[in-house]
Amino acid sequence: MLIKGIAASSGISIGKVFKVKKEKIVTSNEKVENIQQEISKLEVALDISEKEIMIIRDKTARKIDRKHGAIFDAHIQILRDPELLNNTIGIIKNRKLNAGRALQITVDKFVKIFEEMDSEYMRERASDILDVSNRVLGHLLNQNINDPGLMEKEGIIVAQDLTPTDTASLDKEYVKGFATDKGGRTGHSGIMARTLEIPAVVGTKTIMENSSEGDDIIIDGEEGIVIINPNEEQLKEYRKKEKIYKDNKKRLKKFKWRETKTKDGKKIELAGNIGCPEDLSGVLNNGGESIGLYRTEFLYIGKKYCPSEKEQLQAYKEVLKKMDGKSVIIRTLDVGGDKSIEYMNTSKEMNPFLGNRAIRLCLERHDIFKEQIRALLKASSYGNLKIMFPMIATIEELRDAKKMIEICKEELTDEGIEINENMEIGMMIEVPSAALLADKFAKEVDFFSIGTNDLIQYTFAADRMNEKVSYLYQPFNPALLKLIKMVVDASHSHGKWTGICGEMAGNEKIIPILVGLGLDELSMSSSSILRIREIIGKIEYEKAKEIAKAALNMNSNKEVEKLLEKNFSY
Ligand code: PEP
Ligand code: MG
């Protein structure tokens, strides 16, 4: 069966389905005769769950750090809590209920108590109890609760969607690709797949319904196709495609040490996007000249608490040191939207992407924002740091954010801490209002970086996570190109520079227009860097300028796409 979706991360992968299900487990009121047998079942499920949690704990400790691994020790404590066990056994014995139902009754009671407590810390324990009990229930009722963090052999993940926590726990050693029902190209899971350099197709709508655990599967991250149980012919075809893809990757290696410039000598900086210090090697191996976007939210996601100043400093310092004087743009916290954080206690919103997100949330939660700015300033003396604010919509937001830098600078100077005084401060252009007033903003920042994932979403009023409106992801549309031109021109007229760090920067087809519009820097997933360098080397700047000018006068995404196809082939 062939299913079409959205190509989210390039490459071909052939393997077996590893299904991740996240349904709520429902228990029945069925009575039991053999009490002892029911208690034994419960004990077995507890043992298996404990082993699983231990595996995840050790992996997390290896991948992130011991402290995060320790969160799972708390899960084991819950699992072995005598009250939880005795209460459940009591219900099995007294009410002759099956072990699953008995556990659920106990858990519901405990969760209610915790949820009603005043302390935020205690309320959080309620979700830990639910997490743990769901795992035990899954084993009791023989319901598969495959967890991506538990993969121990190679496979291709099939899921309805992957949460940022799921993607943070993906292990490249085992995950050879993934396909999801939901999501768009610029959602978090697609971005993570590109960073990890694993093929992915998202927004398939029906992959969960049409696949079973252990099925053979092909992921074509180039065309956005998934094939379940392929026939011999398809397998042959895709093995060939896989080889071509790999050979091409090898061929591109020769561009690793080359300068990025057009045929007629116009230089453009090619940078990499990262989500954590571990992603750096991908950027460096692929010849990235700098870091154009460090998404710091992954330091905050999937944890039970806010990362401390010390913990953040360590991560920022590591990146700056490894980049050895090359530019590193660190973006301040951008959560909300599709990335929610439990411990921030944000309220449910009707339109999360239009809600309390990114800089808006930081300006409300000064405590969290301050901790990050302090960590960044402390890190600034270890390399070439540039701080960037996300989602700025008004000049007041920018000024308030900059004020926080001033407050922290003063504090740290008083504490005798060294700070790099020449650090550049920039902002992302992701909201049309900021693009339209770029000439005003340009006076108050050192650089712009256009976040086209969001700028497209807000310009076309189309949720980037909703596959039904993914046709409105229109990077060639002149409406968007006009906004980009305004931003680039505004920055240049004030002696500042502009980059793009949205996924569009790594789109092979659009590159001539980005060059022609005068972008100074392009920052992308590491897997795209070498190919984009090769393409830029084939373009003439003068011609690119002409084409960009013509594109601005066209009517539609399609027309511009055709214009490019006619004029550039590489
Ligand atoms: C963007 O919006 O283009 C961007 C780079 O930010 P994110 O994808 O993290 O929202
Ligand atoms: Mg964004």
**Burial class of residue 22, CB neighbours in 10 A (0-12, 13-18, 19+):** middle
Instruction: Give the whole-angstrom CA distance, residue 343 versus residue 128.
Output: 12
What does each C-alpha distance from 264 to 513, 515, 536, 563 come to in angstroms? 16, 12, 10, 21
pLDDT number for residue 65: 60
pLDDT number for residue 121: 65
The torsion angles phi and psi of 273, rounded to 5 degrees, stand at -100, 135
pLDDT number for residue 267: 97
Question: For 12-62, how does the pLDDT look when each residue is reduced to its tens digit (9 = 90+)?
Answer: 999 999 998 766 788 999 999 999 999 999 999 999 999 988 887 887 676
Asked if residue 501 has its Cβ within 6 Å of ligand 1, the reply is yes
Pocket test residue of 453, 465, 480 for ligand 1, highest count of atoms within 8 A of CB:
453
Of the two residues 534 and 184, the one the predictor is more confident about is: 534
Ligand positioned closest to the Cα atom of 191 = 1
Mean pLDDT of 385-411: 98
Strand residues in 169-319 grouped as ranges (E)? 175-180, 200-202, 216-220, 225-228, 269-274, 290-295
* pLDDT cut 70: percent of the chain above it: 95
140 half-sphere exposure, CB direction, 13 A CA radius: 25
pLDDT classification of 188: cutoffs 50, 70, 90: confident
* Alpha carbon nearest to ligand 1 atom 8, residue: 453
Asked if residue 452 has its Cβ within 6 Å of ligand 1, the reply is yes
Q: CA-based angle 139:143:146, to the nearest 5?
A: 85
What 3-state class would DSSP assign to 441? helix
Of the two residues 331 and 55, the one the predictor is more confident about is: 331
Residues 6+ away with beta carbon under 8 Å from 116 = none
Among 73-77, 97-101, 264-268, 363-367, whose mean pLDDT is lowest? 73-77
Question: For 494-546, how does the pLDDT look when each residue is reduced to its tens digit (9 = 90+)?
Answer: 999 999 999 999 999 999 999 999 999 999 988 899 999 999 999 999 999 99
Residue 189 CA to ligand 1 centre (angstroms)? 12
pLDDT number for residue 210: 95
Active site residue 188: yes
Catalytic residue among 75, 139, 188, 362: 188
pLDDT number for residue 562: 97
Q: Is the dihedral of CA 29, 33, 36, 40 positive or negative?
A: negative
Sheet of 6-9: strands edge to edge? 2-4, 225-228, 216-220, 12-20, 155-159, 175-180, 200-202, 6-9
* pLDDT cut 90: percent of the chain above it: 71
Question: In the structure, how many helices (H) and strands (E) does the chain have?
Answer: 21, 16
pLDDT number for residue 252: 95
Instruction: Give the whole-angstrom CA distance, residue 303 versus residue 69.
Output: 10
pLDDT number for residue 195: 76
Whose tokens are 């209920």? That residue is 97
Structure tokens belonging to residue 507 = 């789109």
The torsion angles phi and psi of 92, rounded to 5 degrees, stand at -60, -45
Among 112-126, 246-260, 424-438, whose mean pLDDT is lowest? 112-126
pLDDT number for residue 124: 65
Q: How does the average pLDDT of the chain come out, rounded?
A: 91
Kindly tell me if the per-residue pLDDT of 282 is higher than 60: yes
Mean pLDDT of 401-426: 96
Pocket test residue of 185, 501, 503 for ligand 1, highest count of atoms within 8 A of CB:
501
pLDDT number for residue 563: 98
Asked if residue 218 has its Cβ within 6 Å of ligand 1, the reply is no
What string of DSSP letters covers 139-190?
Answer: HHTT-----GGG--S-EEEEES---HHHHHT--TTTEEEEEESS--TTSHHH
Structure tokens belonging to residue 189 = 């899971």
Mean pLDDT of 314-320: 95
pLDDT number for residue 283: 93
In ligand 1, the atom with minimum distance to the C-alpha of 451 is 3
pLDDT number for residue 165: 59
Ligand positioned closest to the Cα atom of 188 = 1
Question: For 485-496, how does the pLDDT look when each residue is reduced to its tens digit (9 = 90+)?
Answer: 999 999 999 999
Asked if residue 525 has its Cβ within 6 Å of ligand 1, the reply is no
**Burial class of residue 114, CB neighbours in 10 A (0-12, 13-18, 19+):** middle
How many of the other CB atoms lie within 10 Å of CB of 458?
Answer: 21
Q: Do residues 536 and 261 make contact, with C-beta atoms less than 8 angstroms apart?
A: yes
In ligand 1, the atom with minimum distance to the C-alpha of 186 is 8
Residue 372 CA to ligand 1 centre (angstroms)? 19
Mean pLDDT of 368-373: 97
Kindly tell me if the per-residue pLDDT of 185 is higher than 80: no
Mean pLDDT of 244-257: 93
Q: CA-based angle 564:503:455, to the nearest 5?
A: 90
Question: For 64-102, how does the pLDDT look when each residue is reduced to its tens digit (9 = 90+)?
Answer: 566 666 777 888 999 999 999 999 999 999 999 999 999
Active site residue 501: yes
Kindly tell me if the per-residue pLDDT of 553 is higher than 60: yes
Whose tokens are 């897997």? That residue is 527
Asked if residue 451 has its Cβ within 6 Å of ligand 1, the reply is yes
Residues 6+ away with beta carbon under 8 Å from 382 = 316, 317, 320, 321
Residue 298 CA to ligand 2 centre (angstroms)? 14
pLDDT number for residue 134: 85
pLDDT classification of 460: cutoffs 50, 70, 90: very high
Ligand positioned closest to the Cα atom of 297 = 1
What 3-state class would DSSP assign to 4? strand
Mean pLDDT of 141-150: 76
The torsion angles phi and psi of 177, rounded to 5 degrees, stand at 160, 170
Mean pLDDT of 288-309: 88
In ligand 1, the atom with minimum distance to the C-alpha of 295 is 9
Asked if residue 453 has its Cβ within 6 Å of ligand 1, the reply is yes
